Chain A
Amino acid sequence: DQQVKQNSPSLSVQEGRISILNCDYTNSMFDYFLWYKKYPAEGPTFLISISSIKDKNEDGRFTVFLNKSAKHLSLHIVPSQPGDSAVYFCAASGTSGGSYIPTFGRGTSLIVHP
């Protein structure tokens, strides 16, 4: 039973346009959410995170939105660049009885075409 779901295995976007990667979770104990980015032959690297006390966090071209009532978060990349082509993993963790160790989704492969 997956607690973190990334239902789109892949996404293709034109350079300069917006990329939107989606993530859903089922455990209401999760209160911290992270996105990791993974290039081929490399390990995942931290990209951006958001606490459940916020609904938006922005870092340059990357913005994460959190909708707690829907148990949904999304990562927006604007404008998308070919170097953004990678696999993006959504992860969630929590206190208050939840696991403090991140639970990961299966990833979404983003391809940004020049």
Chain B
Amino acid sequence: ETGVTQTPRHLVMGMTNKKSLKCEQHLGHNAMYWYKQSAKKPLELMFVYSLEERVENNSVPSRFSPECPNSSHLFLHLHTLQPEDSALYLCASSQGFATNEKLFFGSGTQLSVL
């Protein structure tokens, strides 16, 4: 496998469910990101991890809980979500945080909250 892999590709959940999104990168990168893409909105940064330590949290509601057990894996734990949380959740990685750094994205998880 190469690149950034996200599972599942699609997820439908009720507001009382608990689910987790998984991301794995095979690029040897040190930084990993969660982004949210909603219709007609910019890509919104949610969380950033550097070498398994969270370095940025863009005031995301506590119903989203990230976990980075090692530099290759990133999870987003979901609980008691709202219908407005329905969106495409994208994971990305980069070598580091240099200004000319390029992000490598996974294909995303399309989440629907009923």
Binary CB contact string for chain B from 14 to 56 against chain A (1 if under 8 A, 0 otherwise): 0000000000000000000101000011110100100000001
Say yes or no: A106 contacts B41, CB within 8 Å: yes
Residues of chain A with a CB closer than 8 A to B43's CB: 44, 89, 91, 104, 106-107
Shortest Cβ distance from B105 into A: residue: A43
Say yes or no: A43 contacts B90, CB within 8 Å: yes
Which of the residues B9, B41, B97, B103 comes within 8 Å of A46, measured between beta carbons? B103
Complex interface residues of chain A between 55 and 114 (CB less than 8 A to chain B): 89, 91, 93-95, 100-107
Residues of chain A with a CB closer than 8 A to B56's CB: 101
Q: A21: CB under 8 A from chain B?
A: no
Say yes or no: A101 contacts B97, CB within 8 Å: yes
Indicate the size class of the contact surface on chain B.
Answer: 20 to 34
How far does the alpha carbon of A77 sit from the alpha carbon of B106 in the complex, in Å? 25
Q: B59: CB under 8 A from chain A?
A: no
Tell me how far the C-beta of B92 lies from the nearest C-beta in chain A, rounded to whole angstroms.
7
Residues of chain B with a CB closer than 8 A to A100's CB: 97-99, 101
How far does the alpha carbon of A80 sit from the alpha carbon of B4 in the complex, in Å? 29
Which applies to chain B's interface (DSSP): helix, strand, loop or mixed? loop
Q: Which of B40, B56, B100 has the most CB of A within 10 A?
A: B100
Q: Which of B56, B99, B104 has the most CB of A within 10 A?
A: B99
Tell me how far the C-beta of B6 lies from the nearest C-beta in chain A, rounded to whole angstroms.
8
Say yes or no: B100 contacts A43, CB within 8 Å: no
How far does the alpha carbon of A65 sit from the alpha carbon of B103 in the complex, in Å? 21
Residues of chain B with a CB closer than 8 A to A104's CB: 35, 42-43
How far does the alpha carbon of A2 sit from the alpha carbon of B35 in the complex, in Å? 16
Assuming the contacts A106-B40, A106-B41, asked whether A95 and B105 have C-beta atoms less than 8 A apart, the reply is: no
How far does the alpha carbon of A57 sit from the alpha carbon of B9 in the complex, in Å? 35
Say yes or no: B42 contacts A46, CB within 8 Å: no
Say yes or no: B99 contacts A31, CB within 8 Å: yes
Q: B107: CB under 8 A from chain A?
A: yes
* B interface residue numbers (CB < 8 A to A): 4, 6, 9, 33, 35, 40-43, 45, 48, 56, 90, 92, 97-108
* A interface residue numbers (CB < 8 A to B): 2, 4, 9, 31-32, 34, 36, 41-46, 49, 51, 89, 91, 93-95, 100-107
